[in-house]
């Protein structure tokens, strides 16, 4: 079964004095793009988090927000001051004050208004305990994400099948309309020559047969019809396989579109040209929907 690339889920869990909130949103993207935002100090867990995510999501943008509150006695919250930048900023403010001839002193509040002078230090806490809680919360959210992507994928698959049936009916109709081309070309040639010569020249049946056969060969679309049917069957097989299929389906759409373009350019029949125009409209709708498939 195919999956959509869009979903949303969140969860919150508390173990003892540790509270964790996880929120995940997934969007369309050509490749897997994981964006993690989490409480400072827990970057050591990023690789483990990405391993969990890649085990569930194969393609798409994944935005993850994680908030961790560790109120246990083991947690030590500390901050580092960028002394060099703080001194430089203080000096810059003093210079500006003198330049503008301003009253008053450069206060601590003014200096700390810059949010890059004081940064939280790596949190010293029971990382294993944090991870146990976080991993459980992540698994719950990823499970919900997967369920939502599967549900939306089922709707997309049903839409695909309806449109594929239309394509199958169209190729059957094209095949039926393309039969008897040899006789059609013979009749058309004979009528054309008769009009041009005002029926004053006797027609060479052998030459007419030869020219009609040549035109029929140029207009033969049997190979394209065979390939279209093969591509449509492969499209169905890929949807049923269950593996990430967005890239494969996108490639197949390009191939199917190419075959119908060739059919349209080869065929001299108006009915077939009209069918090809309608088919290309359906192909564009399928192509747009394929962009949502993982």
User: pLDDT per residue over 241-255, tens digit each?
Assistant: 878 899 999 999 999
Task: Map out the domains of the chain with their CATH numbers.
Answer: 7-76+124-149 (3.30.230), 81-120 (no CATH), 153-290 (1.20.140)
Q: Is the pLDDT of residue 182 over 50?
A: no
Q: Report the pLDDT averaged over residues 262-269.
A: 78
Of 76, 54, 51, whose CA–CA distance to 127 is shortest?
Answer: 76
What percent of the chain stands above pLDDT 90?
49
Bridge partners (DSSP) listed for residue 65: 23, 37
Q: Looking up tokens 């869990």, which residue turns up?
A: 13
How many CB atoms are closer than 10 A to CB 239? 20
Pick from 109, 41, 43, 32: which is nearest to 69 by CA? 41
* pLDDT given at position 111: 83
| Residue partners of 123: CB distance under 8 A and separation at least 6 | 40, 41, 42, 70, 75, 76, 77
Q: What is the mean pLDDT of residues 249-264?
A: 92
Answer whether residue 22 shows pLDDT above 90: yes
Is the pLDDT confidence value at 210 over 70?
Answer: no
In the predicted model, is pLDDT for residue 289 greater than 80? yes
Q: Is the pLDDT of residue 106 over 60?
A: yes
Indicate the range of 35-39, 111-115, 160-164 predicted with least confidence: 111-115
> Is the torsion defined by CA of 251, 253, 257, 259 positive or negative?
positive
pLDDT band at 151 (very low <50, low <70, confident <90, very high): very high
2 or 74: which carries more pLDDT confidence?
A: 2
**pLDDT tens digits for range 213-239:** 555 445 677 788 899 999 999 999 999
- State the pLDDT at residue 190: 54
Can you say whether the dihedral through the CA atoms of 69, 73, 74, 80 is positive or negative? positive
CA 5 – CA 150 distance, rounded (Å): 9
């Amino acid at each position: 079964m195919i999956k959509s690339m869009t979903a949303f889920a969140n969860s919150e869990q508390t173990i003892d004095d540790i509270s964790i909130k996880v929120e995940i949103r997934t969007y369309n993207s050509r490749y897997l793009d994981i964006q993690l935002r989490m409480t400072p100090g827990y970057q050591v867990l990023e690789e483990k988090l990405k391993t969990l995510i890649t085990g569930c999501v194969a393609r798409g943008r994944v935005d993850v927000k994680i908030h961790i509150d560790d109120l246990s006695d083991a947690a030590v919250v500390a901050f580092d001051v960028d002394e060099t930048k703080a001194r430089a900023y203080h000096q810059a403010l003093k210079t500006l004050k003198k330049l503008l001839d301003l009253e008053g002193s450069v206060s601590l509040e003014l200096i700390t208004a810059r949010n890059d002078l004081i940064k939280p230090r790596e949190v010293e806490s029971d990382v294993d305990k944090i991870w146990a809680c976080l991993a459980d919360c992540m698994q719950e959210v990823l499970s919900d994400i997967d369920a939502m992507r599967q549900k939306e994928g089922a709707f997309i698959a049903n839409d695909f099948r309806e449109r594929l049936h239309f394509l199958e009916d169209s190729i059957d109709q094209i095949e039926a309309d393309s039969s008897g081309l040899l006789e059609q070309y013979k009749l058309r040639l004979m009528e054309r020559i008769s009009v041009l010569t005002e029926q004053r020249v006797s027609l060479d049946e052998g030459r007419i047969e030869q020219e009609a056969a040549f035109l029929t060969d140029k207009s033969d679309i049997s190979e394209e019809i065979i390939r279209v049917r093969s591509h449509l069957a492969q499209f169905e097989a890929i949807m049923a396989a269950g593996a990430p299929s967005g890239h494969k389906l996108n490639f197949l759409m390009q191939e199917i579109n190419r075959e119908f373009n060739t059919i349209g350019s080869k065929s001299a029949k108006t009915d077939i040209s009209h069918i090809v125009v309608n088919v290309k409209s359906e192909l564009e709708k399928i192509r747009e929907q394929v962009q949502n498939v993982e």
